[in-house]
């Protein structure tokens, strides 16, 4: 089946048709090669050179059958999106023709010029070489006549330059520590613990013709101007509403494209804001989920174009309406399929569950700053803490029942009991029966336990999910490590488990909050509890170079000090560039579009007054005169605010000192001036002749799809 034929096939035939998955490997590889590759994928054993040749050849033949002419090492640099350079399979022969070739070496390792990817000072330009190395744990696939090989990306000296490497390392670290716990509890068969992730993707769809009339959308992905239309999202008529035909056609094609790539697109629905939607795949191994989320973002954009639409992945495309996030559902599973965050049915399973639960609680409390940082970008600053998305304060929702159980643990089973008649004792054999229906009814929490997984809701819609996951994995690995250190030394395992859990609950229960996270009271309460409230991205980024955080990353070999410092620089620079582009776009739109339009309207008003007066009829021109006054004085104010923004933008751009200071200038000065300029322009939008306004309004954009 080549690509075009697939349109007519059924879902089960289409699913994964363009993926070199297990079925394809089994079919295409000789048995010994298949077995060796499988071992590499499952256990991380190095792949023999000869086997690599066989795999490369089989992969190439398979890809050519799917219409591929090229291959690419697909990687995830620090830009947060993916990168690819395509090479064709051709190899010239002596008779002037070509054959299609692809070697094991080309499969395993690629060399690319890394000088134009963000490195945060890690790599001097004279060492421009970067390497990509095959990540065989995520399957290769064919897209647009190209064989995509998922890879990791590092510098000539081996320093990490991408998002994938730390993710893979964190998965390994977490597996290692989780296995120690499982062994202590008597499990000798599990070989590996896997991080599972399901990322729900929110996005907006708008008409391309309208989109293309707005420079802000073109350059920044969000509207930098725009007054609220008479109708916003207050009617709640979009959420879960029926799909319009055009949207439905888009979604059908989107699903099909994703299924071909083996992405298990499952749930789709309209979201709260007009023109906002959501797509959720079925969860997968964190590594594959990360690749798939990149494919989802990419496919959303491409398919939208085919339908005359543009997909906006920005966290806040429209002020005054809900923004977009990416809920990261996260859990741990054994290689034999047991979800370690599933409350068990037996006391033994319960002990295990409670240890993992408490490890997460302690991790989130101790490293809240890192998690906050993992969810930070310039776009998310508009969401977090803005009464529609999770607040900037990290806390955990557990639900009443689980919280109650933890309280019992803390009180040593003496004071309270829930459903249990007997006093609670902790131990592998004497644990309470845990509630099975600990469902999540709280939608305001940034980090919610949802029955058998945690849902990290702060993640920005446009970002790679690798960052949030590798942070979470690393900090949980650390807590499991600490717990295992203690339990391994314990004489009485049950007593020690009891003591450890009690201690964790006692010391970290401040992070648990089951109430309304959007309320003002919570902000006060969180302050009393000593929980950090990190309001902006710039502030959040500092967590990366905090000594405690460097220690945890180094200890678990996820990132070293140099790599963390480089990431710190990259993230600050990315913030600076984002705000700078936004400011320059506003300046251009104001000067070249808004001011001329407003002057046009002022002239029209003045002309009207003169024309009426010239008739000699003593008609009332007070309306024109009043409007002329009002619009003219707003124009003067606009010009004043424009000058202020121009000044602060060039000051910030020219500042060549410390990057952190520079980022602060953008946040505290440029960004503030941007908002002041916008406020006046938005007022003008409501006064100026709609036919003269230079670009489509919110009403046009949101209700014309
Ligand atoms: P909701 O909108 O209520 O949050 P959805 O059904 O839209 O729920 O999304 C839930 C996501 O969580 C899905 O992607 C689902 O596959 C994922 N998920 C379910 N179980 C796990 C698990 N054990 N580990 C990781 N993700 C999971
Ligand atoms: Mg959700």
Which of 200, 281, 328 has the most ligand 1 atoms within 8 A of CB, as the residue to mutate?
Answer: 200
Please name the residue ranges forming H helices in 225-281. 245-260
Residue 435 or 36, more confident: 36
Query: Taking residues 345-369, what's their average pLDDT?
Result: 91
Query: Quick check: 158 pLDDT over 90?
Result: no
436: confidence class by pLDDT, cuts 50, 70, 90: low
* Beta carbons of 205 and 304 less than 8 angstroms apart: yes
pLDDT of 70 > 50? The answer is yes
Do residues 354 and 431 touch, judged by C-beta distance below 8 A? yes
Mean pLDDT of 330-350: 88
Residue 145 is predicted with a pLDDT of 96
Cβ atoms of 456 and 468 within 8 Å: the answer is yes
Q: Which residues pair with 129 in a beta bridge?
A: 113
* Residue 237 pLDDT level (bands cut at 50, 70, 90): confident
Query: Does 200 sit in the ligand 1 pocket, CB within 6 Å?
Result: yes
Q: Give the pLDDT of residue 586.
A: 98
The residue ranking higher by pLDDT, 30 or 386, is: 30
Compute the distance from residue 465 Cα to the ligand 1 centre, in Å: 15
Is the minimum distance from the CB of 285 to ligand 1 under 6 angstroms? no
Point out which residues pair with 91 in neighbouring strands. 99
Which of residues 155 and 457 earns the better pLDDT score?
457
Q: Exposure of 430 by Cβ count < 10 A (0-12 exposed, 13-18 middle, 19+ buried)?
A: middle
Ligand 1 near 331 CB (within 6 A): yes
Q: Which residue has the higher pLDDT, 422 or 310?
A: 310
Task: State the DSSP string of 573-616.
Answer: HHHHHHHHHHHHHHHHHIIIIIHHHHHHHHHHHHHHHHHHHHT-
pTM of the full structure: 0.94
Higher pLDDT, 658 or 234: 658
CATH architecture of 201-224+238-325: 2-Layer Sandwich (3.30)
Q: pLDDT at position 6, please?
A: 58
Q: What is the pLDDT of residue 525?
A: 96
Q: Which residue has the tokens 């002022």?
A: 602
User: Quick one: tokens of 273?
Assistant: 């804001």
Nearest of 265, 258, 298 to residue 83 by alpha carbon: 298
Mean pLDDT of 216-225: 98
Which has more confidence, 346 or 120?
Answer: 120
Q: How confident is the model at residue 475 (pLDDT cuts 50, 70, 90)?
A: very high
pLDDT of residue 413: 52
DSSP H helix total and E strand total for the chain: 24, 17
Reply yes or no on whether the pLDDT at 112 is more than 90: no
Q: Is the CATH number of domain 13-162 3.40.50.850?
A: no
Options 3.30.390.50, 1.20.120.1560, 1.20.1250.20, 1.10.357.20; CATH for 575-703 is 1.20.120.1560
Q: What pLDDT does residue 155 have?
A: 84
Rounded to whole angstroms, the maximal C-alpha distance in the chain is 106
pLDDT tens column, 388-433: 778 899 999 999 888 988 998 888 753 333 444 333 344 444 455 5
Distances (CA, A) of 431 to 54, 420, 422, 497, 520: 52, 10, 10, 11, 38
Mean pLDDT score, 190-203: 97
Of 25-34, 40-49, 252-261, 551-560, least confident by mean pLDDT is: 40-49
Q: Which is the closest atom of ligand 1 to the Cα of 330?
A: 25
Work out the pLDDT band at 113, boundaries 50, 70, 90: confident
More confident residue, 6 or 460: 460
Residues 141, 262: contact at Cβ < 8 Å?
Answer: yes
* For residues 521-549, average pLDDT: 96
DSSP string, 462-479: TS-SHHHHHHHHHHHHHH
User: What's the mean pLDDT in 174-198?
Assistant: 96
Whole-number pLDDT of residue 391: 84
- Write down the pLDDT at residue 350: 84
pLDDT surpassing 90 at residue 116: no
Please give the Cα distance from 340 to 332 (Å, whole number).
5
pLDDT at 432: 55
Q: Could you give the CA distance from residue 277 to residue 274 in angstroms, rounded to a whole number?
A: 9
Contacts of 83 (CB under 8 A, 6+ apart): 74, 75, 76, 77, 117, 153
Give burial (CB, 10 Å; 0-12/13-18/19+) of 518. middle
Tell me how far the alpha carbon of residue 553 lies from the centroid of ligand 2, in angstroms: 28
Strands 193-207 and 309-312: antiparallel
Residue % of the chain over a pLDDT of 70 = 94
Domain range annotation of the chain = 13-162, 201-224+238-325, 335-419+434-468+497-558, 575-703
Q: What is the pLDDT of residue 118?
A: 82
For ligand 1, atom 19, which residue shows the shortest CA distance?
283
pLDDT in tens, 579-636: 999 999 999 999 999 999 999 999 999 999 999 999 999 999 999 999 999 999 999 9
Task: Kindly tell me if the per-residue pLDDT of 38 is higher than 60.
Answer: yes
Task: Judge if the beta carbon of residue 457 lies within 6 A of ligand 1.
Answer: no
- What local confidence, expressed as pLDDT, does residue 417 receive? 39
Q: Is 240's C-beta closer than 6 angstroms to any atom of ligand 1?
A: no
So what's the pLDDT on residue 123? Answer: 61
In the predicted model, what is the mean pLDDT of the chain?
A: 92
User: How much is the average pLDDT of 8-35?
Assistant: 93
Ligand 1 neighbour 267 (Cβ under 6 A): yes
Average pLDDT, stretch 481-496?
A: 95
- pLDDT band at 223, cuts 50/70/90? very high
Q: How far apart are CA 260 and CA 151, in angstroms?
A: 20
The whole-number pLDDT of residue 82 equals 93
pLDDT at 422: 39
Burial class for 298, CB neighbours closer than 10 Å (0-12, 13-18, 19+): middle
Between the CA of 322 and the centroid of ligand 2 the distance, in Å, is 15
> What percentage of the chain exceeds 90 in pLDDT?
79
- Whether the CB-CB separation of 165 and 154 falls below 8 Å is answered with yes
Q: Ligand 1 centre from 328 Cα, in Å?
A: 8
Neighbours of ion ligand 2 (CB under 5 A): 200, 327
Which atom of ligand 1 approaches the CA of 267 most closely? 7
382 lines ligand 1 (CB under 6 A): no
């Amino acid at each position: 089946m080549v690509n075009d034929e697939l349109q007519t096939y059924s879902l089960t035939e289409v699913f994964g048709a363009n993926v070199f998955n297990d079925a394809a490997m089994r079919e295409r590889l000789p048995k010994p090669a298949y077995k060796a590759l499988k071992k590499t994928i499952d256990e991380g054993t190095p792949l023999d050179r000869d086997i690599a040749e066989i795999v490369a050849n089989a992969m190439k033949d398979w890809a050519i059958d799917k219409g591929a002419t090229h291959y690419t090492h697909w990687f995830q640099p620090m830009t947060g999106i993916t990168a690819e350079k395509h090479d064709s399979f051709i190899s010239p022969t002596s008779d002037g023709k070509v054959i299609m070739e692809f070697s094991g070496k080309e499969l395993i390792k690629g060399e690319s010029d890394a000088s134009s990817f963000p490195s945060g000072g890690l790599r001097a330009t004279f060492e421009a070489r970067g390497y990509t190395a095959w990540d065989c744990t995520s399957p290769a696939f064919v897209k647009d006549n190209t064989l995509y090989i998922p890879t990791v990306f590092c510098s000539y000296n081996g320093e990490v330059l991408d998002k994938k490497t730390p993710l893979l390392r964190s998965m390994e670290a977490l597996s290692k520590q989780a296995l120690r716990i499982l062994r202590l509890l008597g499990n000798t068969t599990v070989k590996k613990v896997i991080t599972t992730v399901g990322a729900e993707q929110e996005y907006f769809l708008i008409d391309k013709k309208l989109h293309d009339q707005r420079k802000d959308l073109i350059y920044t992905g969000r509207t930098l101007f725009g007054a609220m239309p008479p109708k916003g999202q207050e009617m709640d008529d979009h959420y879960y509403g029926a799909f319009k035909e055009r949207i439905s056609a888009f979604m059908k094609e989107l699903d099909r494209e994703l299924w071909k790539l083996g992405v298990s697109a499952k749930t789709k629905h309209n979201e709260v804001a007009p023109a906002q939607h959501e797509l959720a795949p079925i969860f997968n191994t964190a590594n594959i989920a990360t690749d798939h989320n990149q494919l989802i973002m990419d496919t959303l954009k491409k398919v939208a174009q085919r339908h005359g639409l543009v997909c906006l992945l920005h966290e806040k495309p429209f002020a005054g309406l809900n923004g977009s996030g990416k809920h990261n559902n996260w859990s741990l599973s054994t290689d034999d399929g047991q979800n370690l965050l599933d409350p068990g049915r037996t006391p033994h399973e319960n002990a295990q569950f409670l240890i993992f639960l408490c490890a997460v609680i302690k991790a989130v409390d101790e490293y809240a700053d890192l998690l906050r940082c993992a969810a930070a970008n310039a776009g998310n600053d508009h969401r977090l803490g803005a009464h529609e998305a999770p607040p900037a304060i990290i806390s955990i929702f557990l639900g009443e029942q689980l919280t109650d159980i933890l309280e019992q643990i803390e009180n040593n089973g003496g004071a309270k009991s829930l459903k249990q008649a007997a006093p609670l004792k902790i131990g592998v054999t004497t644990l309470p029966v845990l509630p099975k229906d600990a469902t999540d009814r709280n939608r305001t929490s940034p980090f919610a336990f949802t029955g058998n997984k945690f849902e990290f809701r702060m993640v920005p819609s446009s970002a790679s999910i690798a960052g949030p996951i590798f942070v979470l994995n690393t900090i949980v690995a650390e807590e499991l490590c600490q717990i295992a250190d203690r339990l391994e030394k314990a004489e009485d395992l049950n007593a020690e488990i009891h003591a450890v859990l009690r201690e964790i609950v006692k010391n970290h229960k401040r992070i648990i909050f089951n109430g309304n996270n959007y309320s003002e009271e919570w902000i006060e309460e969180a302050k009393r509890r000593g929980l950090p409230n990190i309001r902006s991205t710039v502030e959040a980024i500092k967590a990366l170079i905090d000594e405690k955080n460097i220690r945890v990353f180094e200890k678990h070999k996820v990132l070293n000090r140099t790599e963390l410092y480089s990431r710190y620089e990259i993230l600050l620079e990315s913030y600076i560039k984002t705000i700078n582009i936004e400011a320059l776009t506003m300046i251009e739109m104001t000067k070249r579009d808004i001011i001329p339009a407003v002057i046009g309207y002022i002239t029209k008003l003045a002309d009207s007054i003169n024309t009426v007066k010239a008739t000699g009829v003593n008609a009332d021109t007070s309306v024109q005169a009043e409007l002329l006054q009002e619009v003219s004085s707003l124009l003067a104010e606009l010009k004043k605010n424009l000058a202020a923004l121009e000044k602060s933008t060039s000051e910030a751009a020219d500042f060549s000192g410390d990057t952190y200071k520079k980022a602060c200038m953008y946040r505290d000065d440029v960004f503030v001036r941007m908002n002041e300029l916008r406020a006046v322009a938005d007022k003008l939008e409501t006064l100026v002749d709609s036919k003269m306004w230079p670009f489509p309004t919110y009403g046009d954009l949101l209700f014309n799809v």
